[in-house]
Structure 1
Amino acid sequence: MSRPTVLLVNWRDTRHPEGGGSERYVERMAEGLARRGYDVTIQCAAHANAPADEVVDGVRFRRRGGRLTVYLWALVAVLRLRPDLVVDVQNGMPFFSPLVARCPVLVLVHHVHREQWTAVLGPVLGRIGWLVESRLAPRLYRNCAYVTVSEVTRTELDRLGVSAARITVVHNGLDPVPPTRAAQDRDPTLVLVGRLVPHKQVEHAIDVVARLAARWPKLRLEVVGQGWWLSNLRRHADLRDVQDRVTLHGWVDEQDKHEIIARSWVHVCPSVKEGWGVAIMEAAAHGVPSVAYRAAGGVAESIVDGFTGLLADDFDDLVEKVDRLLGAATLRAGMAVAGRARAGRYDWARSVDAFEELVRESTRT
């Protein structure tokens, strides 16, 4: 008996220069399915960091096309590979796989991109992108099951016309954090982990440092991550006259990333939108509380407001919440205990269990 075949079509993979938490989720699900006997392929964009074809942890990677042509290559893959199930990963733009698939299609959405379209493409193209995501996609995928990573996104999809009954929430897991040598810094230290792109709003974290500089003369910000927005952030730090307080580390290996998180006082996540917030959970596992915007999607779920971190309503509130945590060692200590306990409840094995059950249900229909 042949193994069930699953094709995941995704814009990027984790080795892509712009890969991040959503790509990690896709690959963890794919690896888990491969270990359980599925024939799994990920079709994604080509890039210089990896070959066009390879097998990693039982998952076949096919990298073809660029930022736009990846969508055409994905449709070709659906036609040629004839899988038993297509997982259509929608990072704003759908792959339109139901137009050519002769099998069930499962739609994976990390978060809704309403705010990000204009931030990345400007008002005109952004409006077109949002129309595709909010109007066209729900109609095209009206007979498909959906999976997402938070109840917040499930609610947002329901508002776009995707019936909540068709949406299953499968949370992110969490890789075990490695032991670290770092002790908490003596001086107040903020950390931000994420891709350096406009919608992550790293400028807000830099502005927090500028606003609190007089109150906290030794305050520093450490930014871990890479991306094409790096030069803009350097200029912004210069303009705010905090270049000596802001360290833009760029890419670092996993151990160094965890060392930087572990020695920090507060993790700041000023992103416009997140599906869940992997960095928030990694910080929590190290006992570091996070501050993020309440309206930024899944972060309102990955942070338990007042227990593992704080949610802010706007930039001024973000500054106030960071200031509050910096000045309240007892509050941070309590959040450290709560954060570690909550982070321990998330692992990839449980997430793969739930995802595989959804795969089974999808292929039975």
Structure 2
Amino acid sequence: MDNSGTPSRHVLFLNWRDTTNPEGGGSEVYIERIAAELVTAGNQVTLICAAHGNAGPSSTTPEGVHVLRRGSRHTVYARAALTCLAGRLGLGPLGRRGLGRPDLVVDVCNGVPFFAPLYAGRPVVALVHHVHREQWPVVFGKWMARFGWWIESWLAVRLYRRCRYVTVSEASRAELAQLGVDADRIDVVPNGTPPVTGPPLPRTPHPSLLVLGRLVPHKRVEIALRTVAALVDELPDLELVVAGQGWWEAPLRELCGSLGITDHVRFTGFISEEEKHAVLSSAWVALTPSLKEGWGLTIVEAAARSTPTVAFRYAGGVAEAMVDTHTGLLVDDEEEFTAVVRELLADDVRRKAMGEAALAHASRFTWAATGARFAQLVAQLTGRAG
């Protein structure tokens, strides 16, 4: 029971990564924050994710979320199923003497789902940040991309036909509906914005741009690099900070060399929260050249530091994470992307006004409100389960 007398529920998240994973990103932040809010509301929360070298096989976060790391990025799906099946038999960490069987399973579908309805024995929520239609061919070869898209667009829709869905934007909700998911089974629970705890910091004295996120092909950092190459002759002290890590870093560094902009681009690698605050606060403009985002967490994080963002109009939830022409700018192609970045860097008055509007917009999204919406859904589903 929590302090209000409401029965405590055990919620199990199945996700391929956690935030300590070197390849973790916005999806993992969302899960971590939702899980923490559920614990605050009096629930027990467990996360099963892939093992990695940055953390042991099990741990408990400062907020009280139990994390079980099993398998690799490919075998975590099978290990999660085995752990759940063992729990149903009263064995393993989810058995009678361990954490206990969950009341609800949240299956986080990052393209490939965990197929939880086949083995969970409990109500299942399918959590989908966005549909990966455009990303499959960018990340995988032709046949693997076709197979992955078949799983996401045909098999998963049928497997989860009796499950509730949660997604983070109306854009993703519409795409799921287009795949055949009943719209009335989809709840939109957007990201929150972490509170800004660092002190106010000045902008760089020179024109500066920022890309924040994982370095993988579908983030399209190449567009930001080509933008710098197009502007550097007229802005010789222009700097781009690429903050984040990922397996695509080497090709990006090679492109910097071929474009002749190596001295204008700084790769930070992994950054702490303090360092992230510094780069978000000091940049003149943030760039989100990503092909697709379920929401656009980095856009709102930049907004919380009064930094406007340039992104692509067709990239899913980014159009909801900002207010076009007010807190940032949405464009339709790479040529326009470069053009509006040039305009914002040259117009101090407009850029600062957008930053102030962005700050006000970001204040609308809090993790407390997001967690409360998710907790309400948990209560509804576990209540129905009896």
TM-score per shorter chain, which class?
over 0.9
Q: 2:64 aligned with 1:64, yes or no? A: no
Residues 86-133 of structure 1: per-residue CA shift (max 9 Å, x gap): 000001101100011211101111111111111111222011101100
TM-score (norm. length: structure 2): 0.92
Match of 1:77 among 61, 83, 86: 83
Worse overlay, 176-185 or 128-137: 176-185
Which 5+ residue runs of structure 1 have no aligned equivalent?
Answer: none
Residues 302-336 of structure 1: per-residue CA shift (max 9 Å, x gap): 01100000001011111111112111111111111
Q: 2:190 aligned with 1:174, yes or no? A: no
CA distance, structure 1, for counterparts of residue 244 and residue 151 of structure 2:
30
SS in 1 for 2:193: coil
1:93/1:132 contact within 8 Å kept: yes
CA distance, structure 2, for counterparts of residue 96 and residue 35 of structure 1:
28
Which 5+ residue runs of structure 2 have no aligned equivalent?
Answer: 2-6, 88-93, 95-100
CA distance, structure 2, for counterparts of residue 90 and residue 227 of structure 1:
21
Question: 1:116 matched to which residue of 2?
Answer: 135
CA distance, structure 2, for counterparts of residue 364 and residue 106 of structure 1:
14
Match of 2:34 among 26, 29, 34: 29
CA distance, structure 1, for counterparts of residue 148 and residue 199 of structure 2:
43
Number of residue-to-residue matches in the alignment: 365
Q: 2:332 aligned with 1:313, yes or no? A: yes
For 1:26, the aligned partner's letter is: I
For 1:292, the aligned partner's letter is: A
SS in 2 for 1:248: strand
1:179-190 to 2 correspondences below 5 Å: 179-180=198-199, 182-190=201-209
Match of 2:44 among 39, 43, 66: 39
Q: 2:35 aligned with 1:7, yes or no? A: no
CA distance, structure 2, for counterparts of residue 133 and residue 230 of structure 1:
28
Moved over 3 A (4+): none
Question: 1:348 matched to which residue of 2?
Answer: 367
CA distance, structure 1, for counterparts of residue 259 and residue 199 of structure 2:
33
Question: 2:315 matched to which residue of 1?
Answer: 296
CA distance, structure 1, for counterparts of residue 161 and residue 234 of structure 2:
53
SS in 2 for 1:291: strand
Using the TM superposition, give the Cα deviation of residue 276 of structure 1 relative to its aligned residue in structure 2, in angstroms: 1.0
CA distance, structure 2, for counterparts of residue 256 and residue 181 of structure 1:
13
Question: 1:227 matched to which residue of 2?
Answer: 246
For 1:318, the aligned partner's letter is: F
SS in 1 for 2:262: coil
For 1:32, the aligned partner's letter is: E
CA distance, structure 1, for counterparts of residue 368 and residue 83 of structure 2:
28
Residues 273-292 of structure 1: per-residue CA shift (max 9 Å, x gap): 11111111111111110001
The root-mean-square deviation of aligned C-alpha atoms, in Å, is 1.2
For 2:11, the aligned partner's letter is: V
Match of 2:218 among 176, 199, 221: 199
1:265/1:326 contact within 8 Å kept: yes
Residues 175-228 of structure 1: per-residue CA shift (max 9 Å, x gap): 111233531122110011001111111111001000112222221101110111
Q: 2:68 aligned with 1:49, yes or no? A: no
Match of 2:293 among 274, 277, 292: 274
Identity of aligned residues (%): 50
1:185/1:265 contact within 8 Å kept: yes
Using the TM superposition, give the Cα deviation of residue 153 of structure 1 relative to its aligned residue in structure 2, in angstroms: 0.5
CA distance, structure 2, for counterparts of residue 179 and residue 31 of structure 1:
21
CA distance, structure 2, for counterparts of residue 177 and residue 238 of structure 1:
35
CA distance, structure 1, for counterparts of residue 225 and residue 107 of structure 2:
36
CA distance, structure 2, for counterparts of residue 77 and residue 324 of structure 1:
54
Using the TM superposition, give the Cα deviation of residue 76 of structure 1 relative to its aligned residue in structure 2, in angstroms: 1.6
Residues 253-284 of structure 1: per-residue CA shift (max 9 Å, x gap): 11111111211110000011111111111111
Question: 2:345 matched to which residue of 1?
Answer: 326
Question: 2:91 matched to which residue of 1?
Answer: none
1:212-223 to 2 correspondences below 5 Å: 212-223=231-242
